[in-house]
Amino acid sequence: MGILLVYDVTDESSFNNIRNWIRNIEQHASDNVNKILVGNKADMDESKRAVPTSRGQALADEYGIKFFETSAKTNLNVEQVFFSIARDIKQRLAESDSVTP
């Protein structure tokens, strides 16, 4: 299983909700679930941005997860996010299969 934690870079409250979502994941999902933090609407004008890239990266680093900024409108990094989570899940499953007797 993989989880994409997506927030809107123009909406501070959506970014602030990420910690709550991670707590819920820790309570209800398996410990080794793959997660990626995604800041969406990266195509928006900088004057509309409420969450700088550095804050997104810092939060991802705090939780030890990958971070991408995307734009669903322009398709910026959208495929990369899905390829990355799929690759991570495949690698985790392969590693668990090699350990399981």
- Please report the pLDDT score of residue 69 as a whole number: 99
Q: Which domains does the chain have, with CATH numbers?
A: 2-99 (3.40.50.300)
Query: CB within 8 A of 49, min separation 6: which ones?
Result: 9, 10
77 pLDDT exceeds 80?
yes
The predicted-structure confidence for 17-56, as pLDDT tens digits, reads as follows: 999 999 999 999 998 999 999 999 999 999 999 999 999 9
- Burial of residue 55 (number of CB atoms within 10 Å: 0-12, 13-18, 19+): middle
Residue 40 has a pLDDT of 99
Residue 82 to residue 78: CA distance in whole angstroms: 7
The structure's pTM equals: 0.93
